[in-house]
Structure 1
Amino acid sequence: MNQPLDSIATVLEGTGDYRVLRRLTPLVDCAEAPDEPTFIGLVLDTETTGTDFATDEVIELGILKFEYGASGRIYRVLQTFNQLHQPQKPIPPEITRLTGITDAAVAGQRIDDAAVQALAADAAVVIAHNASFDRQMCEGRWPVFAEKNWACSCHQIPWRAEGHEGMKLGYLLIDHGFFHNGHRAIDDCHALLRLLDSPLQTSGRLALSCLLETARRPTVRLWAQGSPIETKDLLKARRYRWSGARRCWYIDLEEDQIEIERSFLSEAIYRRPCGELPADRFTARDRFSARTNPEF
C-alpha cells in the first residue's frame, strides 16, 4: 500500500468506527540471524477435484518451505512451490467456481513428483490448515509425506480460546487485518504462514510455538466399544464420531483426559465400570494419516 492510502487507513482505524483490511503480502524474511537451533518446516495446501480420497485428485499443490527456530519464530522462506495438475476427468463446475481453476488452466500440466519429494525430504514438520484432508490427499501420491510429522493449524491451535469466533483461514486472516485470494493453494500458504508468525490475541504466544507444542503431544483414540444404541445422542453431544469400519463410536483425546473420559463413559453410557476399553495412541508421525483413518 502506498503511503497516502496507508495514512488514510490509519486515520480511519483511529476513529474506532472503522476496520480496514489490508491485502496480504508475503512474509518478509527476518533481518536478524537465528540465535537458537533452527529447523525446516513446510506449509502446504491442496486444491482438489473433490473430497473423496479414493477417486478425487489434487489439481494444485502449493508449498512454502521455511526455516523456524525452537521458539517458534519464523526466520525466512527458503522455497516457494506451486504447480497445477490435469486430472483424469474434467474439473467439476463447483470446484471451478470455488477456486477459479479451469480445465483450460490445467491442460497439459503435471505436478513434478520428483521435485515434491526433494522439497519435502529434510522437513521436520508439514503444516496444513486441514491436515486430515491434505495429508490423505498427498501421501498416496507422494510417499515422502507418509513418513513426516504433520500438524493441523485449524484444530491444534486454540483459536476460539484466543478470541476468534471462527477457525476458517479467511476468518482468521480478517481478524488479523488482512484479506487474500482464497482457495488458491499458494495464496492460502502465504496466509497461513503469516498467521503462524503472529502472536495469539489472548496469550501473546507465537501461533507456531503453540501449534508445535500441541503437535508434539501424543493423543489417544478411545473407543466406546459396545455402547448401548440409545446413548448415541449423548456420545454425539460429547463429540464422539462414528466409525463405519469398526461399527463403534470413538473420540480423540489428550493423554491427561483419558481417565476423565472413562469416568464419563462408566457413569453416563455403560452405567457400570467400563474396564479397559480399546485405545490407540498417535503421534505427529501418524496422526491425520490414511492409515489411522477409522473409516478405512
Structure 2
Amino acid sequence: MTSQLDMFARDVRPAAARAEASRARRQTSTSFSETEMLAALKATGRYRILRKLEARTVASEVRPGFPLRGVILDTETTGLDARKCEIIEIGLVSFTYNEEGEIGDVVAVYGGLQQPTIAIPPDITRLTGITDAMVAGQSIDIAAVQAIVGPADLIIAHNAGFDRPFCEAFSDVFVRKAWACSVSEIDWSGRGFEGTKLGYLIGQSGYFHDGHRAVDDCFALLGVLEQSSGGAALPPFAELYKASQRSRVRIFAENAPFDLKDVLKARGYRWSDGSDGRPKSWWIEVAEEELEAELGFLRKEIYRWDEADPPTQRLTAFDRYRARR
C-alpha cells in the first residue's frame, strides 16, 4: 500500500531530468507575452488591469516649443494649521509646458525631509509613514527649493488651499507666484471620475503608484494631468491652465440674516469666523461672469433690498489660496 507520506517524498529523478522539467515549467509559464496576458485577462470581462505609474526621468536636453515652467508641489506637515504646524517633507517636480497646456519635459526634481520643532504626532506618522527617526537631523535645502520655484510660471498643488499657506510660511519664494489647484479647478466629475482624491484619480485612470511620499505623489499627479479621459476635449492640465488664467470673485454676505443661513449653505456659501483675515461672514467664490447673477440672488433672497452692496474681492492665480497675513 502506498503511504500518504509518499506525496512529500524527495524527487529522486536524475539531475538532468529535474533540470529539463524545470525548463519546461518555465517555458509554459512564459509562453504568453505581457501584452497577450493583459489582453486575455481583459477579454474575460472579470478583471480590471492597473499599470504602475512610473516616474518620468529628468530630461538631459529640453525640447523647444515649451517655453513655460510649471512646478507640481506636495507637502507633508505636522498638522492642518499653517499658523501653528510645520512642513516635514516637501516634493517638487518641475516641467515645461506651452500656452496650449501641452506638457513637455521634466526638468528638475527635489524631495527633502525636515525635523520639526516638536515630535511628529502619531496620527501624522500613520498617515504619511514619516517618523521622528526619519527626520532627525534633516533639513530641507532651501537653495534647491528656490532654484526650482524661482523660474516657475505656475505652481500646482492637489489642494492648493492647504499647501500654499504652509509654503508661504516656509519661504517668500512662494508668495509672488501664480498657483493652481488640481482639485477645484478641474471638472473631474465631468471627466467621469467618482472623486477628487489623488488615489481615486490614479486608480480610475488605470494606474497605481507607490504613494504617500511627496515626490511620488508629485509624479503621480503629473501622470494624471497628462491623461485624456471621459471624452473631454482637453487633457486635465490644459483645463487647469486655462482655469488658472481666469479671474474669479469672492463675495462676502456680511450681516446676512441668521435664519437664512441654510439657504446660503445650500447655495454653496461657507462660513468665515474672521480668524483667517476674511470678513466675518458667509462667502462664496464665483467666476467673474457670474458676479451679477450672484449679487442679484443676494439682493432678492437674502437682503431683500435692491441697493444691497456686499463686499467683493477679485482674485487671480496670484491671489487665490494664499496665506492670510
TM-score, normalized by the shorter chain, greater than 0.5: yes
Smaller-chain TM-score bracket: over 0.9
The alignment yields a C-alpha RMSD, in angstroms, of: 2.1
1:282 match = 315
Compared CA separation, residues 31 and 10, structure 1 to 2 (3 A): farther
Secondary structure of the 1:203 match is coil
Secondary structure of the 1:287 match is coil
Gaps of 5+ in 1: none
Contact 2:155–2:178 under 8 Å retained in 1: yes
Contact 2:58–2:108 under 8 Å retained in 1: no
Gaps of 5+ in 2: 1-29
1:141 aligned onto 2:170 = yes
Contact 1:262–1:274 under 8 Å retained in 2: no
1:250 match = 283
Shift of 1:130: 0.6
1:262 to 274, 277, 295: 295
Secondary structure of the 1:46 match is strand
Compared CA separation, residues 147 and 107, structure 1 to 2 (3 A): same
Contact 1:34–1:69 under 8 Å retained in 2: no
2:207 match = 178
Higher mean C-alpha deviation, range 18-27 or range 247-256:
18-27
Partners in 1 of 2:296 and 2:142 — Cα distance? Answer: 48
Contact 1:131–1:152 under 8 Å retained in 2: yes
Compared CA separation, residues 33 and 145, structure 1 to 2 (3 A): closer
Residues 127-159 of structure 1: per-residue CA shift (max 9 Å, x gap) = 000101111110111111001000001100000
Quick one: percent identity of the two aligned structures?
45
Partners in 1 of 2:257 and 2:298 — Cα distance? Answer: 11
Could you tell me which amino acid in structure 1 is paired with residue 226 of structure 2? Answer: D
Task: Please list, as runs of the form range in 1=range in 2, the aligned pairs for 1:97-246 lying within 5 A after superposition.
Answer: 97-245=126-274, 246=279
Could you tell me which amino acid in structure 1 is paired with residue 219 of structure 2? Answer: H
Secondary structure of the 1:67 match is strand
Could you tell me which amino acid in structure 1 is paired with residue 43 of structure 2? Answer: G
Compared CA separation, residues 11 and 212, structure 1 to 2 (3 A): same
Partners in 2 of 1:37 and 1:75 — Cα distance? Answer: 6
Partners in 2 of 1:32 and 1:154 — Cα distance? Answer: 31
The TM-score normalised by the length of structure 2 is 0.85
Higher mean C-alpha deviation, range 25-34 or range 200-209:
25-34
Secondary structure of the 1:66 match is strand
Could you tell me which amino acid in structure 2 is paired with residue 73 of structure 1? Answer: E
Partners in 2 of 1:271 and 1:66 — Cα distance? Answer: 50
